[in-house]
Structure 1
């Protein structure tokens, strides 16, 4: 049998932390290996317990979730840990920064339990998790202010690849991109793979951040 996905939960609100842990640990394919209430503890525990996924809050004492994510999954980190950020709408600017720091995805704290569980499984599998219904609201609202004007430049992507990247950044799934461009889903997957390779990006989350920082999406 496949070993369960090992999950570390980090949230400074004990009620939320315990609730997440209870829901997660009840699943046969998921296992809670630790809980903590601040980002520094999350980093220390993650390095000691080697979880598959860290479910990370953003606003916490000692070290916030962004700083902890950067230490666990940021550029240049050896053996990076997959981080799933959970947040509320009034923290959307922090989510953008968390994605830049290396998070593999995000969910809203009021998401249904099934969505949290599927999100953990998705991130653990190596895929990125972007919630299409909030991508434009969370990232788009702050992108124009955050990205430096000098970073708005042409990329090394072909025109069709650039088109696919823009649609990814708008939160469209592969099937939606295929329908919009009247191509097959397999062709979309090929374009996505080329985009990530050419731009040296880890996943779709980083592709979204790249697109907004370079002014490819408005």
Structure 2
């Protein structure tokens, strides 16, 4: 559900670097529709008693290269907000781990102000934003996860399989079109064809069917049993 439909979207800033936090606070002070709810050095400093929806989004700086540590942090943050993670992204495992743990945005440390704000606005709607510089990592992981025997069984073409996986990650048809270099109409055609082949009626049923066929990981359990 969108978390800034009415009034300002409350943002939590989590970064161990005070100067970086101050910079993010200044950025949001000039952006309509946002207000800083808290600015802390670690996730432990956020009052988890506020519960889900206490904040719209959270900017989370990840400095550790340890995938499991990243997953733990993002999982904790996602209990109270949609996480937008910033990191140097030293490995595709780190990126994939963050997304599986619930990140709604993944941006590089070198992103500019405009991209950061765009990532926050997209994440606040519940959709997923990934920096263009990181898309290659996702394509590599999606390709590596393909299971030809399952694809042959349901008769999905390679581009249809790619579409299914983007849908499973929560992207809109417009976002999928941009990432695949297609028109939105073509993605819509793919989605209809996929639903027909999998004999499903909506996005939720499509995602469940794809998980059952091994085309997607079941992220519902990933937060607890993710292995690097």
Task: Provide the TM-score with structure 2 as the length reference.
Answer: 0.64
CA distance in 1, matches of 2:20, 2:13: 10
Shift in Å at residue 48 of structure 1?
8.9
| Structure-2 residue corresponding to 1:8 | 12
Q: Would the aligned equivalents of 1:177 and 1:188 in 2 still touch at CA under 8 Å? A: no
CA RMSD of aligned residues (A): 4.4
CA shift for structure 1 position 103? 1.0
Residue of structure 1 in register with 2:112 after alignment: 112
CA displacement 1:155-213 (0-9 Å, x = unmatched): 686615425236779x9943347865895354356569955542249xxxxx9877xx9
1:35 and 2:39 correspond: yes
The answer as to whether partners of 1:58 and 1:64 remain within 8 angstroms in 2 is no
Distance 1:189 1:36, change over 3 A: farther
Q: Quick one: structure 1 residues 194 and 15, their matched pair in 2 at CA, closer, same or farther if it must change by over 3 Å?
A: same
* C-alpha distance in structure 1 between counterparts of 2:204 and 2:121, whole Å: 22
Q: Aligned pairs, how many?
A: 195
| TM-score, normalised by the number of residues in structure 1 | 0.67
Gaps of 5+ in 1: 202-206, 214-218
Match of 1:69 in 2: 74
Residue matched to 1:216:
none
Alpha-carbon separation, structure 1, partners of 2:43 and 2:106: 16
1:22-73 deviation digits (Å, cap 9, x = unpaired): 101221211101011113224638649811001111236xx95431221343
